[in-house]
Amino acid sequence: MKFQTHPRMTHSPLAHPQFAQPTPPMAGGTPAAQAYPPGDTPGQTRPRARPNAHNFAFPSLTGDAPIRMEAFKGRPVLVVNTASACGYTSQYAELQTLWTLLRGRGLMVLGVPSNDFGGREPGGAEEIARFCADTYGVDFPLAGKQTVIGPAAHPFFHWAVSSVGEAGWPRWNFQKYLVTPDGRLAEIWPSPVRPLADVVLERIQALLNKAGL
C-alpha cells in the first residue's frame, strides 16, 4: 500500500488527457456539518473495534437519505474532497468519465465538497449541485459540504489519518482516497494526480479484478 506525496504522471493507455498542476499551499479550514459512524452520536465515547470505511456515513448534498459507506461493501470506492472554484475543479469531468466507464463493474465515486482550502466552495447545497450538474454533467453521489481537516473534520478523514498518519489529511482540494471492497484504505493520491491517470485506472481495475467484478 503506497500513499503518494508526489504525483506520477504517465500517458493513459485509454488516451485520456492529463495536465499536471502545481500543488497549492495548504489553507485553513472552516467548520461544516459532519456525520458520525452508524450508532455514534456527538460527544459519545465508548470502546469499539477500530473502524474501517464502512463505519462512516455522509449527509447527502440533496438532503436525501445519508450516504452510508456500508452500502458499498464489496465495491471499491473513490472518495474525493471537491470544490467548485478551484484550479483542479475541471477534474470533475474526469471523475464523471471514470464513474461512467467503471460503475457498471462496481466502482463507486463519492464527491465531498469542502470550503476548507482557499474558500473555493462558498456556495450552498443547491448551488453546488446545480454547478456540478450543469457544468460537468455530474451524476455520481455528492455529500453535503464538509470540514475535511482539523479537529472538526468528518470522521472519515480522521480515520484516514489514524490509518496512515499525517499523510491522511487532504493537502488541498481534489485529494483522492481509494477504499477497498472490504473497507480498507488502498491508496491516497494528491490533487495533481488526475482521476484518469494510469496509476489510478490501474489500481482501481486491479481491485475490481480481485473482487471478481
**Strands (DSSP E) found in 21-174:** 57-58, 67-68, 77-82, 108-113
Task: Note whether residue 39 is domain-resident.
Answer: no
Average pLDDT, the chain: 84
DSSP helix/strand/coil, 128: helix
Residue 27 in any domain: the answer is no
Burial 65-94 (b: 16+ CB within 10 A, else e): eebbbeebeebbbbbbbbbbebbbbebbbb
Let me know if residue 2 belongs to a domain.
Answer: no
**Can you tell me the mean pLDDT for 43-53?**
57
Please tell me the total count of domains within the chain.
Answer: 1
Supply the CATH number for residue 180's domain: 3.40.30.10
122 vs 46, higher pLDDT? 122
The pLDDT value recorded for residue 27 is 38
Q: Residue 187: which domain range?
A: 53-210
pLDDT 10s digits, 147-183: 999 999 999 999 999 999 999 999 999 999 999 999 9
Query: Which residues belong to the active site?
Result: 86
**pLDDT for res 3:** 53
Please check the confidence at residue 123 and state whether its pLDDT lies above 50: yes
Domain membership flag for residue 143:
yes
Q: Is residue 60 part of a domain?
A: yes
61 belongs to a structural domain: yes
154 domain-assigned = yes
Residue 188 lies in a domain: yes
Q: Is the pTM of this model over 0.85?
A: no
pLDDT at 50: 63
Q: Tens digits of per-residue pLDDT, 58-99?
A: 999 999 899 999 999 999 999 999 999 999 999 999 999 999
Model confidence band, residue 7 (pLDDT cutoffs 50, 70, 90): very low
